[in-house]
Structures are given as structure tokens and as C-alpha cells.
Amino acid sequence: MATEITVPALGESVTEGSIGEWLKQPGDAVAADEPIVSLETDKVAVDVPSPVAGVLSAHQAEVGDTVEVGAVIALIEEGATGAATKGEEPARAQEKRAEGEAKRETASEELSAAAQTLSPAVRRAVLEHGVDPSTIKGTGKDGRLTKEDVIAAAKAKSDPAPAPSSAPAASAPAPAATGERREERVKMTRMRQTIAKRLKGAQEQAALLTTFNDVDMSAVIEARTKYKDMFAKKHDIRLGFMGFFAKAACLALKDVPSVNAYIEGDEIVYHDYVDISVAVSAPNGLVVPVIRDCQDKGFARIEKDIADFGSRAKEGTLTMADMSGGTFTISNGGVFGSLMSTPIINPPQSAVLGLHRIEDRAVVVDGEIVIRPMMYIALSYDHRLIDGREAVTALKIIKEAIEDPTRMLIDL
């Protein structure tokens, strides 16, 4: 009996996606709830699991095809046995499963230790074939690993090298360098296409302007150093800088509500809550999951939300619901070493706060030149809605709250 696999509901207002990668091929055994295909939407990659155990009998769509919600994309022969396990004795099958699990555990440990960022498809291939990604030379863009690199490495690992001949052969001359220059054309993922359209649309539709300030991070660094161990022990989460900036932003948005609003048609939509979108780097591009009701959350809850989003972004398990909404965005380019930037707003929002790296600089305090840990901060905003005075005021409130964190405790 064949079971149809259809495109699931992908989120509010999302009616279609595209086939990103087939995780199972025709003839492969499939367990119930095991992912068989990765779908790409405008915002996330979604793994579609099989509702039944059996064998994948056919693909009904190819990689890159656009498929609508409800469309049939695969057929599963329920209860059938995969070709890879047919005819095996139960003991041998169990032994193979045990070997596979051991390989996956080893690969998982090696994968965690690897310094490079791997795409979900490459991570799955590493775990499946049990190879160490740090020993493989990537052939993708900027030296990144591809799925084909992992498969080739696994094949080379399983095929023994030929025995050396007893008589040494004449060494062949090394091939002369040809100076060949190569190009690689890679189709943009659906997510990258959407990011490009949204950011370009923001530039074309909004009247973008950026105001800057600099912040003395001494007080926050001192508080973090003093309380980080107690904080981690009590809340089981590291105390970072994003929690301070999120709470400082809440103060600013409360006092300057237009920065937390957006334009819809000929109306301005104001919010009495603060849902902060946090820009997070993912294998397929930048994503912006939302910390909801940030104005009511403490530092520990905010830090846990951010850590959870970062982890799930790398794993590719963020959902559409995680990224829907948002009234204001914080983007931290400082983690990559950025000194200063002009961030682009995340439509339909009207403002985004850009954070940058902290570095010791000479500044004048009370008439004396001193060395302080300083950070440039930037607020890009839609000048159609937010006046310069409001933007500067909001950024100044954030600066003052960071330089004197007590303000966040007594709501100043």
C-alpha cells in the first residue's frame, strides 16, 4: 500500500516552497518520523518526515522544483523492506546497526570539534558516513565542504590503497602549473533570493538614514565580570552582552514609541509590546528569530532565548513561527569583528540597532585622557516615520542605559 507524502503547512501566508534536498532515494528504507526531504521556504529549511515505516518508492518532484502546500512529493510503500537490509540475518542486521550508531557517535563528536561551519546537508553526510570533517579539503566556495566532498572522502576511506610495486617505477614528471582560473555557478537558494528581495525592497521603499553614537562598555563589562559565575550557576546560561542591549532597547522604545512602530498603508501601527528580532547567522543565510514580549522578560530568559535561537539556526530547525512578527531588530556585527556599519531595516519594521566590536580607545573623561573599552552603535531608521530627533534620542537612551545599567533596574 502506497502512502502519499505531501507538502505540510509551512506557516501563516506561506503557500509554497521548493525541494532543497532529497534525504532519501527510491529504494531506501524509511522509518516512521524519519526525514525524507528538506524543503526550502522564504525563511527556513523544513525537514519533512515520513508518517509511516516502509520503502521510498518514488520522488514526485525534483530538487529545485517549486511545490505548493498539499502537493504530493513522494510515495512510501508501507511495511516494505529496504534493499539494503533484504536477506540479512537478524543478528547481522543488528550488528550493522550497532556499527552505524558507533560511526555516527564518533562523527558527531568530530563534527562538534570541527571549526568550520557546515550546511545541514553536509552535517547529515558526515554523520551518515562517519568521517572527520576537519581532515577533508573542501571544494566549495571559500573552501567550504560539500556533500560530494564527504561522500568522496568516505569512499576513499573504505577502498584500500593499492599495494606498492616491488620494483620502483620511474617517477613521472610533475604536471606544469597551467594557471587555470575557475568559476563556479551556484543557484541561489530560495531563502537567499528572499533575503535579497527584502533588503533591496527596504532600500527602495523606506527613506533610510543612520545615526551613530559610541558607548563606554566599562560598566557592563564590570557587572558581567562580577556576576557571570553566579548568574551561570543560578540560571544555567552564560551572561552575555545582548541581554543588556535588549533591555536598554526596551527603555528606548517605551520612551520613543515611533521607533517601535511601522507604516501600513496610510496608517502608523504602534505597539505596546516589544518583540525584538535578533539577527542570527545560519548556514543558508541570515535569519531573524523573535524574542517576544521582551519588555516583560529578565536577563536570564532573554539570554536563554538567544542561545536557543543560535543553536537551532545552526541545526536548521528554526520554524516559521520563530521568525514571524517582530517590532524592532538588533544585529551584532561585532561578533565578526565589524567596527562600524549601517544596518538595513527588516521590513515592515522601521528601525534596527547595529552593535559592533569592543576595543580599547583613548577618550576624554573629566578633562583627562583615559583608555576605555568602547563600542560604536548605529540606529538605521525609516525617516518617513521617525524624525532625526526621535532617532537620536532613542540611541542616546540606549547609550546611557549601557553606561549606567542601574537605569534598567529603576526604569529610567
Is the bond leading into 348 cis (omega within 30 degrees of zero)?
Answer: yes
Half-sphere exposure of 7 (CA within 13 A, CB side): 24
Residue 83 in 3-state DSSP? Answer: coil
Separation CA 244–CA 358 (nearest Å):
14
List beta partners, residue 75.
4, 58
- The residues near 105 (Cβ < 8 Å, ≥ 6 apart) are none
378: closest CA among 209, 257, 207, 241? 209
Residue 255: DSSP 8-state: H
The number of angstroms, rounded, from the C-alpha of 117 to the middle of its chain's C-alpha atoms is: 11
Residue 52: DSSP 8-state: S
| Parallel, antiparallel or unpaired: strands 54-59 and 72-78 | antiparallel
C-alpha grid cell, residue 323? 521568525
Q: Read off φ and ψ for residue 388, nearest 5 degrees.
A: -60, -40
406: closest CA among 239, 169, 222, 130? 222
Separation CA 153–CA 136 (nearest Å):
7
Separation CA 75–CA 56 (nearest Å):
6
Sheet of strand 16-22, all strands in order from the earlier edge strand to the far edge: 45-49, 35-40, 16-22, 66-68
Catalytically annotated residues: 383, 387
C-alpha grid cell, residue 408? 534598567
- The residues near 46 (Cβ < 8 Å, ≥ 6 apart) are 8, 10, 17, 38, 39, 40, 319
